[in-house]
Amino acid sequence: MNERSDDVPGAALLHPVALAALALWILNDHLLKGVWGNALTGKLSDIAGLIVCPLLVTASVELARPGLSANGQRRVLLGAAVFFAALMAAIKLCEPAADGYRLLLGAAQWPLRATISALSGHAAVPLTPVQLTMDPTDLISLPAVLVAWHIGKRSSAHGPRSVAPRSSLRSTS
């Protein structure tokens, strides 16, 4: 990219580190865990998720509210980073939180699993909680949210993106 990549809402998602984290997340969940399935692969997705998830939330808000100020973007990013870090800690340490996570994510996955099962002619798939290993050592991945914070903060430093061009258009007409 020759142009600055942070001039569109949610541009932080296009940061090479964010893209690499997303690619690693997909690769790890759908290939590496199946092939190796060890403590390392158990943490790779946590690290990647903690980088990607706050940026996803921030990008969603920026797309929904293109005129959001730089401060507003940082607040959203900070809130998302804190939320996902707290969520990670909770589901790794607290059984009720882990159960809630298993149930909610299972519910989120069910429509797709049910559709695939129906299309392939198999029996109906029940709504089931997902598998989650409560491994406190996974909390070693928590600092990864700082990477998200760094990427997102740098991106938001350039302020609102979509409003400015419109303003300049009006001023020139």
Partner 1 sequence: MVSRAQRSWGVRVVLVVGALTSIATSPPPTYVREDSGEGRLESGSPRTLTVTISKSARPHSELTLSFYISRTATRELGVELEDSQVRVTPQGAGLEPLHIPLHCSTVRGMPPTEAGVSAQALLGDDDSGSAADDAGLVADGDGGSDPADAAVVFDSGAGAGPSDAGRLPSYASCEGAADYRWEPLAALCTGSGSCTLVFELQLITPRRQSHHANLHYEARVVRSDGGCDETVGDYPKDAFVRAGLDE
When binding is defined by CB under 8 A, the residue of 16, 123, 171, 173 that contacts partner 1 is 123
Q: Residue 49, interface with partner 1 (CB under 8 A)?
A: yes
Contact characters 81-100, partner 1, x per CB under 8 A = --------------------
* Least distance between partner 1 and beta carbon 13 (Å): 4
Q: Smallest distance, Å, CB 128 to partner 1?
A: 5
Least gap, CB of 112 to partner 1 (angstroms): 8
Residue 60 binds partner 1, judged by CB under 8 A: yes
Residue from 6, 2, 21, 1 nearest 161 by CA? 6
User: How many residues at the interface with partner 1, by CB under 8 A?
Assistant: 52
| Interaction of residue 167 with partner 1, rule CB under 8 A | no
